[in-house]
Amino acid sequence: MKIKNTFLQFMKKEKLNSYLSLITKKSTITFSIITLLAFCIFFNQASCRIIRSDLGAHIKFMKQHFEQGTRLDHPFFHYVTYYISQLFSFNLVATAIVILTLSVLISAIIIFLILNESLRNDYSENIILFFTFCLMIVSAIYLPFFNKNIYLGQSSPNVWHNPTTIVVKPFAFLSILLFIYLLNIENTKKFIIFSILEAALIAISISVKPNFFMSFFPAAYIFLLLRVNLFKKYFWKFTLISIPALAVLVWEYFMRFGEGGESKIIIDFLGVWSHYTPNVLVSLLLLIAFPISVLIFYFKKVIKNDYLVLSWLVFFIALIQYSIFAEAGRHHYHGNFGWGRQIILPMVFTFSVVEFMKLIKEPHGNKWGKYKKYFVSLCFSLHVISGLCYLVIMYITRSFH
């Protein structure tokens, strides 16, 4: 089976000029704006303490670990931040701000490359950069009469307050892209090299935050089952690739939930989620209005996009996990089983944009076809407007929620 593969096309480029040609004045300005926006948000979270976030807590965890030897459940962000600060003689706060800002920038670049490879034949650079910026700020649609909290209850495709979620996002993006890429490699040596890279990416992602792999691992097998001719060929290969990540996940599980751990996993169906929203279903629809409308209205097109199918599978697995499981004790209402859906949502949105933008170029067919496009466009616009509102509200209320 030949899979239409954006990442494969990207990897086949041989000349450096093809990459450098993407660095234009317009793209530089766009990424500078995104970088400045991210820097201002994180600076105000940490240095000025204008915006409440989890950054202060993670800085505290870092200091306690290196000064007092306290435990870190998933330490990648903390170790990288600490040792870079030591290497360059920066303070921890400044180093954390830089790392988080770079993580946002890398995510934006990945989204831009995906859109550019998929849409450049049909759309101008301005349009592609515009949608890149939009995808970096979209949030759940905000209806204050339904839920006064813009974030709690609905969550968001773009998380600004949690350092580990921000840092893990590029690893999640690349893991999805590379997984599909591996299904297209025939050369054994090349397959081994990129399999090692995939194994490293997902293992590192767990050491940053385990939620992505917890959803990605079962979703990948379901994806292979849906593509029946791929299952036998790649079942054991993907299992071998996942062994390092599984080892890290087991270690983290016993660190947090094993003997001497501070918590345990319980079944609490919709308990945490319903605590923050008047209606779980409405909150879910507000969160995914745009991509779910693309999925429903253009299902036959969507199922041909392997990236989008895999991203949706990861999201649905993550949604099930959040709906069923919770942590007992003081972490109960932290919603730590909900991070997986937020980590994968940017990919769901990105590839939904790719499919929808291609569909816009096709004839309406009839009035229903035109109305569908209007509705989907409206949903996306509301996500973008709500994302802008979220940024403003964070500064007005000095809170992420």
For the stretch 223-238, pLDDT in tens is: 999 987 788 888 899 9
State residue 265 phi and psi, 5-degree precision. -90, 135
pLDDT at 255 > cutoff 90: no
Candidate from 115-129, 142-156, 329-343 with smallest mean pLDDT: 329-343
pLDDT at 155 > cutoff 60: yes
pLDDT at 1 > cutoff 60: no
pLDDT at 11 > cutoff 70: no
What pLDDT is attached to residue 332?
A: 82
**How crowded is the C-beta side of 146, counted as CA atoms within 13 Å?**
18
What pLDDT is attached to residue 80?
A: 95
Q: What is the residue-wise DSSP string for 214-227?
A: HHHHHHHHHHHHHS
What pLDDT is attached to residue 258?
A: 66
15 confidence band (pLDDT: 50, 70, 90): very low
For the stretch 276-299, pLDDT in tens is: 999 999 999 999 999 999 999 999
What pLDDT is attached to residue 399?
A: 82
**C-beta of residue 390 within 8 angstroms of C-beta of residue 286:** no
What pLDDT is attached to residue 47?
A: 61
For the stretch 26-58, pLDDT in tens is: 889 999 999 999 999 998 887 656 677 888 888
Measure the CA–CA gap between 53 and 50, rounded to whole angstroms.
9
Residue 208 parent element (H or E): helix 188-208
Q: Mean pLDDT score of the chain, rounded to an integer?
A: 89
For the stretch 302-316, pLDDT in tens is: 999 999 999 999 999
Q: Which amino acid is at 104?
A: V
What pLDDT is attached to residue 90?
A: 87
Task: Evaluate the CA torsion angle 173, 282, 222, 349 in order and state its sign.
Answer: negative
Distance (Å) of CA 392 to CA 33, 104, 108, 289: 16, 18, 20, 22
What pLDDT is attached to residue 8?
A: 53
Candidate from 125-139, 284-298, 352-366 with smallest mean pLDDT: 352-366
C-alpha torsion angle, residues 24, 28, 29, 33 (rounded to 10): 160
**C-beta of residue 383 within 8 angstroms of C-beta of residue 138:** yes
Closest by CA to 323, choosing from 337, 334, 343, is 337
- Provide, rounded to the nearest whole percent, the portion of the chain with pLDDT above 90: 63
73 confidence band (pLDDT: 50, 70, 90): confident
3-state secondary structure of 283: helix
Measure the CA–CA gap between 398 and 389, rounded to whole angstroms.
13
Measure the CA–CA gap between 247 and 255, rounded to whole angstroms.
12
At 85, list the tokens.
């600060």
Distance (Å) of CA 357 to CA 139, 144, 180, 318, 352: 19, 30, 21, 27, 8
For the stretch 75-89, pLDDT in tens is: 999 999 999 999 998
Name the pairing type of β-strands 265-267 and 325-327: antiparallel
Closest by CA to 314, choosing from 203, 205, 176, 199, is 176
Length of the chain equals 401
Q: Give how far the C-alpha of residue 11 lies from the chain's centroid of Cα atoms, to the nearest Å.
A: 22
pLDDT at 17 > cutoff 60: no
**How crowded is the C-beta side of 5, counted as CA atoms within 13 Å?**
19
Measure the CA–CA gap between 182 and 176, rounded to whole angstroms.
10
262 confidence band (pLDDT: 50, 70, 90): low
For the stretch 194-209, pLDDT in tens is: 999 999 999 999 999 9
Q: Which neighbouring-strand residues pair with 265?
A: 327
Buried b (16+ CB within 10 A) or exposed e, 209-236: bbbbbbbbbbbbbebbeebeebeeebee
